[in-house]
Structure 1
Amino acid sequence: MSIIRLIILVSFVFFFFSCSQKSEIFMVAASMNNLMTDIQSENPQFKDISISYGGSISIVRRIENNKRGVGAVLLSSEESYDILDKLGYIDNEFSYTFASNSLVLIGKTNNRIKETKDIESIGKKIVIADPKIAPAGVYSLQSLNSLNQEFLDENVIFAGDVSSVVGTVKNNKNFVGIVYKTDAISHNLEVLFEFPTNSHDKILYKLGVLKNNSGISILEYVKFLKSSFVKQKLIDHGYLVE
């Protein structure tokens, strides 16, 4: 066999092998970092699953650019999930609603907050996730929609994803922030107010497996995430489960 033919054969085999690879990458909404870390720490049998975190909107954009690199997603926005579903990327046989959540205001203040309008009187800037990259920011703006627009323009600050909001409020007493209730619990933060669930869209965590792109390990992991063990972990972390 000539060297040229050998090179062509090796290249073909490499190309075929690369294309047939199944991804074990699981991209998860940043707000679920603590939960997933807790689950993984007690289940070393799933050490081959590579979990990457980010804002749900950012995750969708990454998959639109390179869906081959991701095996499954867990998003904190039904709208983000629907984008992938409408593109035909989601295998509905293995996909489901994982959990739900609520929004709270965190920080420190001497003012009592009984309803949303009381937020205008606390005299502090309000930090929320950036709605361009994280659904938490969209939900936060919806929950504040009843407040004076001028007040919002002067006092609302965008700060990346939910993790960034938590860090900002923990490190600066002059700020309050809006995060998921589960983040307040996991970081042991003081909750000043819980927003009515009808003040924003339902906060649903949707789990989706990408078509023709998930290995056996990640499918087993997705099945495991339906177990009673995981449901109890969800409850312990403050999530709502059916």
Structure 2
Amino acid sequence: MPQIVSALFKLPLLRELKPGWIDTARAIVQGAVFQEMTRAHLWQGKCLNAGCGEGLYCSFLSSFPDLSEIVNLDLETPQLYYSRVDDRHQEIKGSLTALPFAKETFDCCLCSEVIEHIEADELAVAELARVLKVGATLLLSVPTPPAPNDPAHVREGYTYEQLSSLLERQGFKIQCHAYCFYNPMRVLDTLWRWQYRVLGAEKRNYFPQFLVKGLGYCDRVLKVGKPWDLVVLARKESEII
């Protein structure tokens, strides 16, 4: 029976009934912002994917043909699909507060939904500045108040002013910024966490993929309510002595 169910879920229509995860909607909404922001800043050279998690944005980074190397770093050594299909990808274990790289190693960096997890966020940004070359770009996303509660976060998020100040203290200057995640994503976050906690006893996910995607596309188009995510593209202007 499990084999039959698995085979059925591979059919195009039934595939959308499979359990869906919030990160799918996150990529639909936030990924579009990333693409728009980097349209005029085509990345090349060596890129750091800082706090890559399960590799949500590996495909986004793979889309840049002039990137020669993509280093995916997380607290535990990532096991990513993209390292098997794109030999530019590397997987490294490390912490943002003590990056295992020499000074001025990277030409660009993606750091998405990471520093809100780190108590020593100033040190983490200082480490990103240390390993980036002068003139390098940093694409950074963080929650912004009022953000849904996440017990894994050490702070609710950052206002634009707070994030700008944090980056500027380490030699970065924001080139552009945008907001995302509005009421549809807030509804998705609430419903998904409820069903996983209550119906699934924190072991099973019953939320269908088509609803995850649908709410993601609604959020991307409608932009109703207060946003709870902030994306910035910053440039490393100088070294901090």
Instruction: Tell me the TM-score normalised to structure 1 length.
Output: 0.34
Query: Which has more radius of gyration?
Result: 1
Instruction: Tell me the TM-score normalised to structure 2 length.
Output: 0.34
- Ranked by relative contact order (alpha carbons within 8 Å, sequence separation 6 or more), the top structure is 1
